[in-house]
Amino acid sequence: MIFSVFLDDNNDFITDSNGNLKLITSYAEYVNQKIRVELQTFYGECFTDFTKGFKYYEIVFDKQVSLDEKNSAFQTFVLGLDVVKEIVTFETSFDTDLNKYIVRYELIGTESSEIIRGESTL
């Protein structure tokens, strides 16, 4: 069992009414949170390891990079995470009303053969 603190969409700790930290209770929750946090980290942003994060400025914000290339970069990035063994399905969309990029996936983690479904809004 993996023990980790559950984070909200802003990556802040979640506590119960008594002030106790909410803990992740399943491997799928752990994998989904890890992917979301990693995708929300810009390359070079992490002061403890400047090689962590996704290259948003170089890939996503570059108008010369095609949508297929951007999607491929996201897939490669997710597949490179230490919790991901295989991507089963992967799709992206852009919500023009919210100005958000949405990544939906089904994958198999490194610690289990179950299919993990998730979505990250960036």
In contact, 13 and 24? CB cutoff 8 Å? no
- Supply the pLDDT for residue 1: 59
Residue 59, domain CATH: 3.10.450.40
Burial of 6 (0-12, 13-18, 19+ CB in 10 A): middle
Is residue 23 situated within a structural domain? Answer: no
Quick count: other Cβ atoms within 10 Å of Cβ 2?
A: 14
Is residue 11 situated within a structural domain? Answer: no
Which residues of the chain fall below pLDDT 70?
Answer: 1
Domain count, the chain: 1
Is residue 35 situated within a structural domain? Answer: yes
H or E stretch covering 121: strand 115-121
pLDDT digits (tens, 9 = 90+) for 17-27: 999 999 999 99
Is residue 2 situated within a structural domain? Answer: no
Is residue 9 situated within a structural domain? Answer: no
Q: pTM of whole model > 0.85?
A: yes
Q: Who contacts 51 (Cβ-Cβ below 8 Å, separation ≥6)? A: 43, 44
Token pair recorded at residue 37:
């946090």
Quote the CA–CA distance of 39 and 33 in Å, as a whole number: 10
Domain containing residue 93: 29-121
Angle ∠(80,115,102) on CA atoms, nearest 5: 60
Is residue 4 situated within a structural domain? Answer: no
